[in-house]
């Protein structure tokens, strides 16, 4: 009889343990206490944690019954954890997610937000109008905007005899600058291929330049294969930069973060960078940091543009017991005053009514780049599962062990598998 009691105790303990749920406590209703759990890949000092902390404080003050449990999860771990969380149907209420096809790849775990978005919010946040996934639903709305730019170190330019106020604007000028810098003993371009993210950036920028407007629309509708001439041209441009010695040597083991640090520490003269990192560069390099449009390829289909658009945002999980409160938090973070908090640290707000600083000159140059009428992004059409083969093949591609055709073919295979699941 004793062992039967022990058995029942074990089974009861298992039942209690399996019954726990961390997707928020409290019951529905405006006055009932609610806890919203947020998984945020940007909740770190480099990603604006202090801004999120202030937003959380303000939100909780305005909504005394809602507590925010904000957790920072590194980008490289977040989406793997998310798969498991979706399979388990339990976890946070809000998760940072890139809109478009990326979010569509995880749509089984997220609720469509279209019914929540008001006309006024669409007007204030134009990028919310174009954040749908291939099935036409919006699973994530961006909290920030971004754009790619060429950052350059004016001190290195001066040392190499280059005009620090005239950065390269074309591929030919870029090659010349690389040669001059190398001759002066300066590593020209930041590089880090280990995680493959930097190669993705080059593909977005230069694939975007080489895709015609018509083909851009086809790509955004997933009607164009990845193995198209524009993407091949973009990858071959990067391989060409490597062959010409434009990239920092011994970059095979560096990651995207490593490339960013190379520029921040003054180890290289130029970097393809995102607007979100400018504040960090200004802190470390001061007035020596310059910002310019990424050099235009001769065969670019656009007169002047960069890849720019919706940055990461939030999605509400489909198992959240408090979707209304979760949407309230998203809407609060997108309000002008809170968006200006991000702008103060150098980020690009998604709310068009938020003002952006015009000091120092690099910030002003960045804001001007972001206003170019032809700016658009192609990255939101890449499902997460299509980017993974590109990330894995990046080191071999840059080492010359794989051709652009081989890399793109693997991406196409992943795209064919992903399409039926996205539409």
Partner 1 sequence: MTESLSGARRRGDVGYLVPMLVLVGAVVLVPAGVAIFHSFTDWRPGGESPWVGLANYREFLSNPVTGEIVKNTAVLLIGVPLWTALPLLLAFALHERTRATGFFRAVFFFPAVLSPAIIGIMFRGILAPEGLVNELLLGVGVVGEPVLWLDEASLVKPTLIFVLAWASVGAGTILFAAAMTSVDNHLLEAAKLDGANWLQRLRYVVLPGIASVVAFWVVYQVVSVFLYVFGWIFILTRGGPGYSSTTLDFDVYQNAFANGLFGYASAQAVCLLVIAAIVVIVGFPLARRTRRA
What is the contact surface with partner 1 in residues (CB under 8 A)? 3-4, 6-7, 10-11, 14, 79-80, 83-84, 86-89, 105-109, 194, 250, 252-253, 318, 384-385, 388, 392-393, 395-396, 399, 401-402, 414, 417, 421
Q: Buried b / exposed e across 364-394, counting CB within 10 Å, b at 16+?
A: ebbbebbebeebbbbbbbbbbbbbebbbebb
Contact 110, 53 (CB under 8 A): no
Q: State the minimum distance, in angstroms, from the CB of residue 96 to partner 1.
A: 17
Give the nearer residue to partner 1 in terms of CB position, either 124 or 195.
195
Q: Facing residues of 148 across strands?
A: 274
Give the nearer residue to partner 1 in terms of CB position, either 317 or 356.
317
Q: State the minimum distance, in angstroms, from the CB of residue 107 to partner 1.
A: 8
Give the nearer residue to partner 1 in terms of CB position, either 251 or 362.
251
Q: State the minimum distance, in angstroms, from the CB of residue 13 to partner 1.
A: 11
Q: State the minimum distance, in angstroms, from the CB of residue 20 to partner 1.
A: 16
Give the nearer residue to partner 1 in terms of CB position, either 6 or 46.
6
Measured in degrees and rounded to the nearest 5, phi and psi for residue 289 equal -90, 130
| CA atoms of 92 and 38, how far apart (whole Å) | 6
Give the nearer residue to partner 1 in terms of CB position, either 13 or 62.
13
Give the nearer residue to partner 1 in terms of CB position, either 194 or 296.
194
| CA atoms of 304 and 80, how far apart (whole Å) | 37
Q: State the minimum distance, in angstroms, from the CB of residue 413 to partner 1.
A: 9
Give the nearer residue to partner 1 in terms of CB position, either 117 or 415.
415
Q: How many Cβ atoms sit within 10 Å of the Cβ of residue 58? A: 16
Give the nearer residue to partner 1 in terms of CB position, either 14 or 172.
14
Q: Which two tokens stand for residue 314?
A: 């939030």
Measured in degrees and rounded to the nearest 5, phi and psi for residue 313 equal -140, -150
Measured in degrees and rounded to the nearest 5, phi and psi for residue 103 equal -65, -35
Q: State the minimum distance, in angstroms, from the CB of residue 135 to partner 1.
A: 12
Q: State the minimum distance, in angstroms, from the CB of residue 377 to partner 1.
A: 23
Q: Could you tell me which residues come within 8 angstroms of residue 180 by beta carbon, excluding any fewer than 6 positions away?
A: 160, 161, 162
Q: State the minimum distance, in angstroms, from the CB of residue 79 to partner 1.
A: 7
């Amino acid at each position: 009889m004793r062992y039967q009691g022990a058995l029942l105790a074990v089974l009861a303990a298992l039942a209690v343990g399996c019954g726990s749920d961390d997707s928020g406590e409290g019951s529905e209703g405006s006055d009932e206490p609610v806890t919203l759990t947020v998984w945020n890949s940007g909740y770190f000092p480099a990603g604006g944690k202090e801004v999120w902390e202030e937003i959380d404080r303000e939100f909780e003050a305005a909504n005394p019954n809602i507590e925010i449990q904000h957790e920072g999860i590194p980008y490289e771990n977040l989406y793997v954890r998310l798969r498991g969380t979706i399979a388990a149907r339990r976890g946070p209420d809000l998760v940072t997610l890139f809109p478009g096809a990326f979010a569509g790849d995880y749509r089984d775990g997220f609720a469509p937000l279209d019914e929540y978005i008001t006309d006024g919010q669409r007007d204030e946040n134009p990028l919310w109008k174009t954040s749908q996934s291939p099935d036409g639903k919006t699973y994530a709305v961006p909290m920030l905007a971004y754009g790619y730019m060429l950052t350059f170190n004016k001190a290195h330019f001066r040392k190499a005899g280059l005009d620090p106020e005239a950065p390269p604007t074309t591929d030919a000028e870029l090659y010349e600058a690389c040669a001059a810098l190398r001759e002066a003993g300066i590593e020209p371009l930041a590089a880090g291929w280990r995680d493959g993210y930097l190669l993705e950036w080059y593909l977005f920028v230069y694939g975007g330049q080489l895709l015609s407007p018509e083909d851009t629309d086809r790509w955004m509708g997933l009607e164009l294969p990845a193995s198209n001439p524009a993407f091949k041209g973009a990858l071959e441009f990067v391989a060409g930069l490597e062959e010409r010695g434009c990239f920092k040597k011994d970059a095979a083991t560096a990651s995207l973060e490593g490339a960013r640090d190379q520029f921040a520490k003054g180890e290289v003269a130029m970097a393809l960078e995102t607007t979100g990192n400018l504040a960090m560069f200004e802190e470390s390099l001061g007035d020596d940091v310059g910002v310019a449009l990424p050099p235009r390829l001769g065969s670019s289909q656009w007169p002047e543009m960069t890849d720019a658009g919706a940055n990461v945002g939030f999605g509400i999980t489909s198992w959240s017991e408090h979707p209304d409160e979760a949407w309230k938090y998203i809407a609060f973070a997108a309000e002008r005053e809170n968006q200006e908090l991000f702008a103060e640290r150098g980020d690009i707000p998604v709310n068009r009514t938020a003002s952006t600083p015009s000091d120092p000159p690099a910030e002003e140059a960045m804001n001007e780049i972001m206003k170019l009428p032809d700016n658009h992004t192609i990255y939101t059409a890449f499902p997460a599962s299509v980017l993974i083969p590109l990330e894995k093949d990046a080191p071999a591609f840059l080492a010359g062990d794989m051709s652009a055709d081989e890399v793109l073919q693997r991406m196409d295979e992943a795209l064919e598998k992903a399409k039926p699941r996205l539409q």
